[in-house]
Amino acid sequence: MLGNWLKTTVLMATILSIFGGVGLLLGGPVGMLFALLLGGAMNFWAYWFSDRMVLRLYKAQEVDETTAPQYVRMVRELSAGAGLPMPRVYLIDEEQPNAFATGRNPENAAVAATTGILRVLTERELRGVMAHELAHVKHRDILISTMSATVAGAVSSLAQFGGLFGGRDEEGRSTNPVFAMLAMIVAPFAAMMVQMAISRAREFEADRGGAEMSGDPQALASALEKIHRYGQGVPLETAETHPATAQMMIINPLAGGGLAGLFSTHPDTGERIARLQAMTRALARA
């Protein structure tokens, strides 16, 4: 619990630093003060409301045991087994197979899955995926995930807005256009690096925790392989439009590879599968 709050505090401080740096480059000391105030307000808003915003972005619809009985019962059983409160359960009408968890704590958590993932996976594989998402809830890192997704997008927008329209110093003079261009490039990159540092280690931990929760590491390994294979070439338009939210998904939903893969917020899928298969062999020996 303490570790989670420490991570949240570091994240908020990093966000404020990025906002302040962008403001300084674009508007001098006055711009920095304005950006710091904006960053503080964004931190407050993201803490309380970012989960609702993300669910709204993806047009997620809440479901229950009447509208999606098998899916909701599965989440209920896994939550009870893990000693977690029952989260709100959502469906996203998208062909790409994917899923994510959000919320500021286990008492205010939500899990969401695309209609595509329900069609592609078997019940056993889907159980592994939902256990992974509930492991995010249990580890209390869903707040960090959602906040970083929301604020990274805001940092990028702030830098682009300032770079396009120019900044002013405290005496009303235009700032150096080189600084404005630098802010447009560096600020989104810095926000992306923060997300990478948070996301990659978190996914490995959720894989391990989800495999333990379901008692079936091979099911999650099989699900990851299927999601990766079926998801290629099937765009998730909301993620493409709002790429800062991509790190919330169980597998990177964005198109592109090569150099882009070096900066992915997700670890290599093959390595994740290999670790889960090693857990399966260890369980078999035990």
Catalytic residue check, 133: yes
CB under 8 Å to 133, separation ≥6 — which residues?
99, 100, 101, 111, 206, 210, 250
E strand residue ranges, the chain = 61-62, 88-92, 99-102, 110-114
What span, in angstroms and rounded, lies between the C-alpha atoms of 206 and 204?
Answer: 5
Considering the candidates 94, 133, 171, 203, report the single residue annotated as catalytic.
Answer: 133
Q: Which pLDDT score is estimated for 49?
A: 80
Are residues 281 and 218 in contact, defined by beta-carbon separation less than 8 angstroms?
Answer: no
Q: Which pLDDT score is estimated for 161?
A: 55
Q: Which pLDDT score is estimated for 190?
A: 59
Tell me the helix, strand and coil percentages in the chain, rounded to 5: 70, 5, 20
What radius of gyration do the chain's Cα atoms show? 20
> What distances in angstroms separate CA 150 from CA 48, 106, 118, 140, 196, one per listed residue?
12, 19, 26, 17, 14
What span, in angstroms and rounded, lies between the C-alpha atoms of 214 and 133?
Answer: 11
Q: Which pLDDT score is estimated for 193?
A: 58
Q: Which pLDDT score is estimated for 116?
A: 97
10-residue averages of pLDDT along the chain (286 residues): 57 69 69 70 73 94 97 98 97 97 93 98 98 94 71 60 48 50 56 59 91 97 96 91 86 68 71 96 89
Pairing of strands 99-102, 88-92: unpaired
Taking the domains of the chain in order of start, what are their residue ranges? 2-285
Question: What phi and psi, each to the nearest 5 degrees, are found at residue 174?
Answer: -65, 140
Give the count of beta carbons closer than 10 Å to the beta carbon of residue 2.
6
Q: Which pLDDT score is estimated for 98?
A: 98
Are residues 149 and 50 in contact, defined by beta-carbon separation less than 8 angstroms?
Answer: yes
What span, in angstroms and rounded, lies between the C-alpha atoms of 263 and 254?
Answer: 12
